[in-house]
Copies of this chain bind each other. A is one copy, B any other.
């Protein structure tokens, strides 16, 4: 009467997914639109930084040899040749006992090898700078290339572009940046109990929270969402919708309909598509019915219809595929050590991914369950910024236990952590 499915371990399920080849496309975007995208090419220093020896202060550029005898008792005077503003270059040489007034960031005159800060000088008469101490060769100069040497790879391809990366891209004249194209992820919901968000509640029905939640997860993972509505309760129509959707998107997610109930059509749809089902049961809670199928290089993620199960299934299986398509060599959630902040007494034979809230106490990660914890739970998801990974077994866990947590709200990623 009931199909028996064999659960496989989480690590094996994730491995089966990421073993499949994915394609990556690149495009050029303007630097003002590049934040949060992933570099598809190494960021190379196209010139030295600074590009020339420059003054880090407002002051005077001098030849240090001329300052050697300067002291409080024996001040030395310099004739000021000109003022070199930032962006300007010297218009005349600086000779013996001459100085050029120089602004922060301005290029050093060729003859000078030190900068004297303005506040260490006086002006006994117009056009004359008086100095009361000696300076050494190289004092107060920002040297060409001290920050970056031409040709250096400063940021590797696959890296997420943050504000600092933008500063570098601008410095080196990358006006249009080659980034990974965001894969388009389609979302199809199943479930005759589902109302749209704008509809009033009816007896026996609930609003479709999974599709909008998964859309936000897709966006957080760096991909583009295509909302494709709801699958019909008719197998034939269902199959046609999925087949058509696959032509419009790079990845297709369905929510619900992967269980073994009478109205769960997805298993039959995969069969008709002749898609390879990578697994349809994972030894995990929530989300054990998560199904992943693959057909001609395209992924079909059959996520659970339960909100928490759907959420976890996405982060464990769909996110890494999106990240791989974005060229991220570390496509997984970062898995870190943490201390459990509260008891979690309910044992389970399967690996449990408890929706958790992370805190940092004295520099140490501490994770506590976010709240109500059933696969159907929705209220705890808003406070969730990590998944607490509790290995399967017969015992519960108590506050203070050392556990692993997968971080959700971070720009970091990880190599295969399971």
Contacts and interface: CB of A to CB of B under 8 A. Distances in A.
A167 B219 contact: no
A355 B32 CA distance: 23
Contacts of A105: 191, 193, 206, 305, 376
A75 to B, nearest CB: 15
Interface string A204-221: 111111111111110110
A412 B360 CA distance: 11
A225 B174 CA distance: 20
B382 A154 contact: yes
Given A167-B213, A212-B31, A203 B305 contact: no
Contacts of A174: 197
Contacts of A170: 197, 207-209, 211-213
A384 interface: yes
A363 B378 contact: no
A234 to B, nearest CB: 13
Given A170-B209, A197-B173, A164 B382 contact: yes
Contact of A363 (B52, B193, B339): B339
Nearest to A377: B147
B167 A89 contact: no
A207 B383 CA distance: 42
Number of copies of this protein chain within its complex = 2
A50 interface: yes
Kindly state the interface size class of chain A when it binds its partner.
35 or more
Interface of A: 1-2, 31-32, 35, 43, 45, 47, 49-52, 56, 58, 83, 85-89, 101, 103-107, 118-119, 121-123, 142, 146-148, 154-155, 159, 162-175, 191-194, 197-201, 203-217, 219-220, 225, 227, 259-263, 305, 307, 311, 334, 336-339, 355, 360, 362-365, 372, 374-385, 402, 409-412
19 contacts: A32-B215, A43-B382, A49-B379, A50-B376, A85-B192, A87-B191, A87-B194, A88-B192, A146-B372, A147-B379, A162-B384, A164-B380, A167-B210, A168-B379, A172-B207, A334-B360, A363-B402, A364-B364, A385-B411
